[in-house]
Amino acid sequence: MPAPYRRPSPSEKERALPKAELHRHLEGCVSVPTIIRLAARHGTKLPSSDPAELEKLTRLKSPMGSLDEVLAMFSVAQAAFASYEAVEEITWEALETAFRGENIRLLELRFSPDFMLGGKDLDWRKSLDIINSVIKRYEAAHPFVGGVIIIASRGLGAASAERTAGFAIENRKKIIGFDLAEGEKAFPARLCAPLAAKLRDAGVPLTVHSGEEGEYSQVIDTLDLLGPRRIGHGVKAAEDRTGRAMEMIRLAGVTVETNPWSNYLTRAVETPQAHPLKKFLDAGLKCSISADDPEILDTDLNREYALALGPLGLSKDDLDYCRRCAVEGSFLDPDRRQQAAREMGF
Ligand SMILES: [Zn+2]
């Protein structure tokens, strides 16, 4: 077995940098102590209640053996959202970790209601209201701005995606955007086109998980058929030797929400050095850096920045450009974006 990859430790400077995060799943923000605490409160059964053992079952520390392994980790985190109080506590902790631990000043949190609340007696709208009220409370007390993106998990099927888009449109004043996540191969862009058109007509900004796995042609189809303002991951675009996929991203003015460590752990790239972020930047693409699922993927933005400046080969200017792209590409309203830009020193 190859030795585990040793990531560079973030420096104090990297930790202290004010940050903006566009791609973070709430379901991937539940820490092991929180899983244990909430399971005890709700009487939920855990695969283990020993913290060290549970950590092994819920945190991916090296490239995944199989997708099932990761899905099992998500299902433990998902079970933690067992009550409205749990939704509130997990959201608050996600904000605390982001602000205090990573100095994040702008945070877009996303969740998939059908996945996160599936099998539970919890109302989607009430849960969304709770998440928003936590963000508002946090904003009032800290130099921080945030908002919610609603996800349709393509893996849950067409009816689920339809219902989720309908929910997003009905609640469009309470959300900042919409995301199509996972299952891109089985549920390709052409099947999502009517849904993307509906969201566009309703004025809901769209981001799409695209080119995380599979072929670069998926990224081309996403841009052509769905017209998103941003894409998540996009790594496969770099495999188009003609450069067309990257050029299309550039011409569309689309921001790529990159997730370097996530891509290494899910084997989208073979090594961190092979991640195309630097290539994207050199080709003139707008890119942000994000952590995806910090608890499950054992990462955060401090570590992502250290990775970017180390093995990924970004310069300090490149990193600053990515920080700026995150603020400029945010779906938050201009006032909030301005506030974040000031706090980030732009
Ligand atoms: Zn993601």
- The sign one gets for the Cα dihedral 244, 246, 251, 257 is positive
* Range 104-126 average pLDDT: 97
- The answer to whether residue 19 scores a pLDDT higher than 90 is yes
Q: Compute the distance from residue 263 Cα to the ligand 1 centre, in Å.
A: 10
Q: How many helices and strands in the chain, by DSSP H and E?
A: 17, 8
User: For the segment 176-235, what is each residue's pLDDT rounded down to a tens digit?
Assistant: 999 999 999 989 999 999 999 999 999 999 999 999 999 999 999 999 999 999 999 999
Q: Compute the distance from residue 150 Cα to the ligand 1 centre, in Å.
A: 12
User: For the segment 257-311, what is each residue's pLDDT rounded down to a tens digit?
Assistant: 999 999 999 999 999 999 999 999 999 999 999 999 999 999 999 999 999 999 9
Which residues are placed with Cβ below 5 angstroms of ligand 1, an ion?
A: 292
Q: Compute the distance from residue 23 Cα to the ligand 1 centre, in Å.
A: 6
* Cα 270 from Cα 273, distance rounded (Å): 8
- The reported pLDDT for the residue numbered 170 is 98
On whether the CB atoms of residues 42 and 86 are closer than 8 A, the answer is yes
* Cα 35 from Cα 58, distance rounded (Å): 10
- The sign one gets for the Cα dihedral 316, 320, 321, 322 is positive
Q: Compute the distance from residue 291 Cα to the ligand 1 centre, in Å.
A: 9
- The reported pLDDT for the residue numbered 66 is 87
- The model carries a pTM of 0.97
Residue of 306, 314, 340, 345 whose CA lies nearest to 326: 340
On whether the CB atoms of residues 286 and 238 are closer than 8 A, the answer is no
Q: Compute the distance from residue 25 Cα to the ligand 1 centre, in Å.
A: 6
- The reported pLDDT for the residue numbered 188 is 95
Q: Compute the distance from residue 181 Cα to the ligand 1 centre, in Å.
A: 7
Q: Is 144 helix (H, G, I), strand (E, B) or coil?
A: coil
- The reported pLDDT for the residue numbered 4 is 77
Q: Compute the distance from residue 299 Cα to the ligand 1 centre, in Å.
A: 13
User: For the segment 50-59, what is each residue's pLDDT rounded down to a tens digit?
Assistant: 999 999 999 9
- The reported pLDDT for the residue numbered 121 is 95
* Range 19-40 average pLDDT: 98
* Cα 304 from Cα 104, distance rounded (Å): 13
- The reported pLDDT for the residue numbered 49 is 87
Q: What is the CATH code of the structural domain delimited by 24-34+82-343?
A: 3.20.20.140
Q: Compute the distance from residue 152 Cα to the ligand 1 centre, in Å.
A: 12
Q: What is the domain partition of the chain in residue ranges?
A: 24-34+82-343
Q: Compute the distance from residue 261 Cα to the ligand 1 centre, in Å.
A: 12
- The answer to whether residue 341 scores a pLDDT higher than 70 is yes
**Residue 36 carries which side chain, given as an amino acid letter?**
I
Strand order in the sheet with 19-25: 19-25, 104-111, 145-153, 177-181, 206-210, 230-233, 255-258, 286-289
* Range 48-71 average pLDDT: 93
Q: Compute the distance from residue 257 Cα to the ligand 1 centre, in Å.
A: 9
Q: Is 248 helix (H, G, I), strand (E, B) or coil?
A: helix
* Range 122-126 average pLDDT: 98
- The reported pLDDT for the residue numbered 67 is 83
